[in-house]
């Protein structure tokens, strides 16, 4: 089940809200049980078998957490971590590893194909966060498996994040305070995310898909248009989902941290990664980078620590050489920015210098997204080659004109919406007493989004695959 579907919008979510806020049963236990059952139904809607795998992992996490609280045993922590890493490896990486070995022996067909449970990387990292927070004394272990299950399986962030650290919501699981004003704010945030997803991301996604997957004889301009559209698609797809998740959590009294902070206004690649998928970057920083020594070590050791983080970041996104190359590309660029002083220089830059930094950053990010989007390293190399005129003698063609004619309005809106300008305008309207205009705008966005959901069957979510 996806948020931008008629089943979710008109059946699942209204039913859960009505049951959750019914006037007769208001106890915290009832509401937590309801949310957990609803979350399991939400996941089982698309994964009727793998929901049992998730329940098993929840049970292991709960038992390990209780034991950690009693003994503070490193052996228990290690066993819990090994369990989750092993499950993640089996379902996400084992097929890739076996098939790559098979290629060495000239196997003509894939030797192994294990289905990938939706969102396994997200809920696995959350359960690891629970164990780490208990081990480090940042939160107390839950005595009730219900609470651990609710943390791990809470449907707003279950299948595509943001990755919520246990310590951030541990108290809210048992002591949160819901209010009508919070529900309204959550609904507003949800509508913004829904609009990002179905009115922008889905639209530019069709151009990107055609450029990457279907147009075999692309011109230079078409290759660039496809790359730009994918750059916009992945931002509005993922940030839109995060907005919906944060809004849904708020409707039920949970407060998740922000996952995006306008990454496409960055003037350096380092700043870009401080603004993009913040929950993942924070997870690796807290649980990998800092335990390895962070930056309080020699330069050589720091480079190694950074390498490990970006190796794991690439692998986290999938079992594919392109993802690994994507991670290593960012590792190299970020190390150069740090060691050369480029980041420090760009971080204080203003005017023309900052604009040049922004051009450089978006150029790097755009090319990196091509590698990320491509199905293989050879496909990525061929696509980037086309962007620079290698393998084609055409700068532009009729398809570019046709696609631009149909998407230029959406592209303009997308470029505007990827900056804080809209937020600043809304804040000024509120200050001058015109906050009601935002409500009218949100109503229009919701109605247009619903029409788009009803009329289109094209509704992919990029990060469901991770």
Residue identified by tokens 């620590």 is: 305
Q: Hey, what long-range contacts does 376-383 have (CB within 8 A, 24 or more apart)? A: 376/320, 376/321, 376/322, 377/321, 377/322, 377/325, 379/322, 380/322, 380/325, 383/212, 383/223, 383/227
Identify whether 287 is a catalytic site residue.
no
Q: Quick one: which of 184, 185, 249, 192 has its CA closest to 448?
A: 192
Are the beta carbons of 87 and 53 closer than 8 angstroms? yes
Q: Quick one: which of 26, 59, 66 has its CA closest to 153?
A: 59
Are the beta carbons of 338 and 294 closer than 8 angstroms? no
d(CA 76, CA 174) in angstroms, rounded, equals: 26
Are the beta carbons of 95 and 110 closer than 8 angstroms? yes
Token readout for 379 is 């496909």
DSSP 52: H
Rounded alpha-carbon distances, angstroms, from residue 329 to 142, 339, 356, 466: 41, 16, 21, 20
d(CA 128, CA 84) in angstroms, rounded, equals: 7
DSSP 23: S
d(CA 97, CA 88) in angstroms, rounded, equals: 13
Per annotation, catalytic residue among 84, 277, 287, 317: 317
d(CA 42, CA 123) in angstroms, rounded, equals: 14
DSSP 107: -
d(CA 396, CA 393) in angstroms, rounded, equals: 9
Helix, strand, coil percent content, the chain, rounded in steps of 5: 75, 0, 25
**Catalytic residue numbers, as ranges:** 317
């Amino acid at each position: 089940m996806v948020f931008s579907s008629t089943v979710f919008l008109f059946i699942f979510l209204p039913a859960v809200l009505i049951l959750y806020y019914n006037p007769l049963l208001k106890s915290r236990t009832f509401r937590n049980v309801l949310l957990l059952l609803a979350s399991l139904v939400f996941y089982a809607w698309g994964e009727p078998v793998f929901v049992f795998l998730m329940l098993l992992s929840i049970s292991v996490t709960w038992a390990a957490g209780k034991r950690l609280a009693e003994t503070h045993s490193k052996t228990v922590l290690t066993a819990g971590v090994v369990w989750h890493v092993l499950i993640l490896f089996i379902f996400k990486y084992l097929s890739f590893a076996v098939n790559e070995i098979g290629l060495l022996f000239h196997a003509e067909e894939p030797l192994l194909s294990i289905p990938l449970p939706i969102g396994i990387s997200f809920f696995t990292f959350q359960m690891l966060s629970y164990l780490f927070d208990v081990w480090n004394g940042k939160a107390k272990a839950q005595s009730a498996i219900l609470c651990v299950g609710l943390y791990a399986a809470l449907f707003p962030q279950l299948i595509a994040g943001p990755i919520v650290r246990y310590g951030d919501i541990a108290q809210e699981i048992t002591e949160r305070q819901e209010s009508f004003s919070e529900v309204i704010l959550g609904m507003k945030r949800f509508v913004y995310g829904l609009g990002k997803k179905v009115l922008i991301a889905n639209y530019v996604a069709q151009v990107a898909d055609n450029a990457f997957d279907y147009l075999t004889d692309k011109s230079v301009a078409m290759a660039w248009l496809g790359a730009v559209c994918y750059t916009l698609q992945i931002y509005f797809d993922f940030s839109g989902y995060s907005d919906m998740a944060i809004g849904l959590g708020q409707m039920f009294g949970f407060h998740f941290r922000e996952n995006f902070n306008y990454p496409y206004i960055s003037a350096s690649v380092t700043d870009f990664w401080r603004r993009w998928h913040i929950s993942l970057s924070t997870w690796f920083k807290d649980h990998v980078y800092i335990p390895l020594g962070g930056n309080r070590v020699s330069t050589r050791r720091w480079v190694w620590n950074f390498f490990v983080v970006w190796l794991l970041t690439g692998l986290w996104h999938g079992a594919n050489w392109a993802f690994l190359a994507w991670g290593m590309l960012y590792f190299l660029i970020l190390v150069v920015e740090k060691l050369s002083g480029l980041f420090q220089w760009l971080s204080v830059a203003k005017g023309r210098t900052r604009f040049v930094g922004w051009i450089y950053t978006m150029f790097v990010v755009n090319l990196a997204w091509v590698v990320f989007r491509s199905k293989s390293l050879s496909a990525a190399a061929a696509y980037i080659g086309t962007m620079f005129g290698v393998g084609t003698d055409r700068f532009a063609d009729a398809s570019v004109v046709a696609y631009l004619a149909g998407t230029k309005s959406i592209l303009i809106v997308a470029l505007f919406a990827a900056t804080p300008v809209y937020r600043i305008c809304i804040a000024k309207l509120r200050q001058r007493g015109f906050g009601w205009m935002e409500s009218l705008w949100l109503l229009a966005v919701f109605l247009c989004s619903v029409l788009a959901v009803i009329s289109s069957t094209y509704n992919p979510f990029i990060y469901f695959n991770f």
